[in-house]
Structure 1
Amino acid sequence: MQISALPKTLRPREKLVEQGPHTLSDAELLAIFLRTGIKGVNAIELAESLLFECQSLQNLFNAPLEEIAKLKGLGVAKYTQLQAVLELSKRYLREECKRDTVFNNPNAVTDYLTATLRGLSHEVFMALYLDNQNRLIRDEVLFRGTINAASVYPREVIKSALKHHAAAIIFAHNHPSGVAEPSEADKLITRKLQQGLGLFDILVLDHIIVAGGQCVSFAQRGLI
């Protein structure tokens, strides 16, 4: 059935305008993005099919171009649009972090880190540099690949923190395994960085591990 043939209360665009975006399902939101379906399949049905094939929105947004091209109804144009939407959401969350202190809006920090790090197939270790009012100065990916005590160099982290005139830092990295629990290597890295940065009166406020949609905070666990 064509979407135009549906009652207005069931049409995604009209529903969004009248009831708000939070009332729409993942498939309905994706249908608005797709705009049109394909022969014999309307946009909502196509969206439902794509979510079924990919198993989640996260998998759909993180799929590489070669995988997107295999999905019926998608192609290079839709891939670039998906990536643009994803990047816009990250930049929106980054602005939230810059506008408020991390203590006034901790959810913005975890939302931004989750959007940035989840779904990556490789480990990324990053730092959020904060000023003396705990507002975000900038963020930076410091290391890529398997993260362990040997691959994270406190000297390089200290140089970067001093370059950005950071008064405090929040570290973050992802676990592609999907298990957010900190390893002994994670704890060792954090202690080494705390000790090194402490010599320059730079505080380590937290180390956050992202795995899938989960975040584990060292500060909340009492590990910092």
Structure 2
Amino acid sequence: MTIKTMNLINEVPIQSRPRERLEHYGEKALSNHELLAILLRTGTKGTNVLSLALSMLNHFGNLYHLKTASCQELMAVSGIGRIKAIELKAAIELGMRISQASQIKIGQITSSTKAGEMLLVEMKGLQQEHVVVLFLNTKNEIIKKETIFIGGLNSSVAHPREIFRGAVRYSAARIIVGHNHPSGNPDPSEADIQFTRRMSECGELMGIELLDHIIVGESEFVSLKEIGIC
């Protein structure tokens, strides 16, 4: 593979530089040598980083040989010193570990009762209203639990978009929302009911099911699903 490059990176048009291309088009749009150039960061005197990245790929022939190269073998490429070699080995190892990583599950929800009991233990006695979301996969396994905001549901921050933004970020298939009533009385208010209906409508539009909205009191909880609200 032969690609013509300028002697200095500042001679390359901004829109053609690897970092800018990744920022605008995403990492999948970049070639191997562009991704490698971002990791290398700088070239050498008279050779820009794109040319250095190409030299490395040509030297090793393919990504597998680059992956298995030792620091000493990396340093055999002109322009690759000790620091660059160490940084590359660290980046390669981290990439391998990430590729082998699996999503951590923190329990499975089998019923509204189980979800309510879990939230009751965590939220009873709180002096302010907290809104917590359980993000679930298709097997109802909890892939993330997050406090979205603190304050009453009448507050302007209590909006379904904050909840579903997290659902999209974590690739959740379903969600359970829980919040506490510091008064200790878990009976839903009109604001609770309206908020639940808005969440349910948003979930239908986005294809992310609202399984339940659970209100936690001092010693008991109410499932809005079980009373027919969602």
TM-score (norm 2): 0.52
Kindly provide the CA deviation profile for residues 171-220 of structure 1, in whole angstroms up to 9, marking residues without a partner as x.
00000011110000001111111111221100001000000011000111
Please state whether the residue corresponding to 2:106 is helix, strand or coil.
helix
Q: Separation in 1 of the partners of 2:198 and 2:225?
A: 16
Which residue of 122, 133, 157 corresponds with 1:127? 133
Divergent runs of 4+, >4 A: none
Q: Separation in 2 of the partners of 1:206 and 1:193?
A: 10
Choose 1 or 2 for highest CA Rg: 2
Return the letter of the residue paired with 2:172.
Answer: A
- Give unpaired runs (5+ residues) of structure 2: 1-103
Does the alignment pair 1:98 with 2:106?
Answer: yes
Return closer, same or farther for 1:180/1:148 CA change in 2, 3 Å cut-off.
Answer: same
- Give unpaired runs (5+ residues) of structure 1: 1-94
Give the alignment's Cα RMSD to 1 decimal: 1.9
Q: 2:170 aligns to what?
A: 164
Q: Say how many residue pairs are matched.
A: 127
Return closer, same or farther for 1:126/1:201 CA change in 2, 3 Å cut-off.
Answer: same
Q: 1:202 aligns to what?
A: 208
Q: 1:193 aligns to what?
A: 199
Please state whether the residue corresponding to 2:225 is helix, strand or coil.
helix
Return closer, same or farther for 1:151/1:99 CA change in 2, 3 Å cut-off.
Answer: closer
Please state whether the residue corresponding to 2:122 is helix, strand or coil.
helix
TM-score (norm 1): 0.53
The answer to whether the 8 Å contact 1:149/1:185 transfers is no
Return closer, same or farther for 1:223/1:106 CA change in 2, 3 Å cut-off.
Answer: closer
Which residue of 194, 209, 228 corresponds with 1:222? 228
Kindly provide the CA deviation profile for residues 148-175 of structure 1, in whole angstroms up to 9, marking residues without a partner as x.
2633122222211100111000000000
Q: Separation in 2 of the partners of 1:156 and 1:210?
A: 20
Please state whether the residue corresponding to 2:153 is helix, strand or coil.
coil
Please state whether the residue corresponding to 2:135 is helix, strand or coil.
strand
Does the alignment pair 1:111 with 2:117?
Answer: yes
Return closer, same or farther for 1:215/1:115 CA change in 2, 3 Å cut-off.
Answer: same
Kindly provide the CA deviation profile for residues 77-126 of structure 1, in whole angstroms up to 9, marking residues without a partner as x.
xxxxxxxxxxxxxxxxxx9x8343x22x5544222201111000000011
The answer to whether the 8 Å contact 1:149/1:188 transfers is no
Q: Separation in 1 of the partners of 2:132 and 2:183?
A: 18
Q: Separation in 1 of the partners of 2:107 and 2:180?
A: 25
Q: What are the equivalent positions in structure 2 for 1:37-52 lying under 5 Å apart?
A: none
Return closer, same or farther for 1:121/1:99 CA change in 2, 3 Å cut-off.
Answer: closer
Kindly provide the CA deviation profile for residues 46-104 of structure 1, in whole angstroms up to 9, marking residues without a partner as x.
xxxxxxxxxxxxxxxxxxxxxxxxxxxxxxxxxxxxxxxxxxxxxxxxx9x8343x22x
Return the letter of the residue paired with 2:149.
Answer: F
Q: Separation in 2 of the partners of 1:190 and 1:161?
A: 16
